[in-house]
Amino acid sequence: MLKSSNNYNHMTKKILVIEDDASLAKKIEFALKKDFAVTLADSGDKGLQIAKQLAPDLILLDVMLPDIDGEHVLKELKSGQLTKDIPVVILTNVGDLGTISRFLSSGGKDYMIKSDWSMEEVNKKVKELTEI
């Protein structure tokens, strides 16, 4: 699954959402598409491929993915020449501090516990992190 919101100009920041829950991915896309160019990927492998091609300004990365987990995706992103400097925000339902600190020490910029954030708050956080 690859979908991109195409109603943006060349100055719009690009956001890649790697999330296998289609309903949540669509909600995030809807919350962000007014301000950002949003691309969705429903697996870690697709997300890595798109990140290398698109060079997004920010990646929202789910921890639990159907093929390779978010931790592996994050390590791949941070070790890749084209993707190492892209900020990655971890999306998780796991509030476990050990898991969160492991992701942050692996190069994650920030994290969001899915159940704690409204779509307006997600938009605000993405704006803060992309400085718009």
Largest CA distance in the chain: 40
What residue ranges do the domains of the chain occupy?
Answer: 2-130
3-state class (DSSP) for residue 91 = strand
> What is the DSSP track for 27-54?
HHHHHHTTTSEEEEESSHHHHHHHHHHH
pLDDT tens-place values along the chain, 132 residues long: 444 444 444 479 999 999 999 999 999 999 999 999 999 999 999 999 999 999 999 999 998 899 998 999 999 999 999 999 999 999 988 777 888 888 899 999 999 988 888 999 999 999 999 987
Q: What is the CATH code of the structural domain delimited by 2-130?
A: 3.40.50.2300
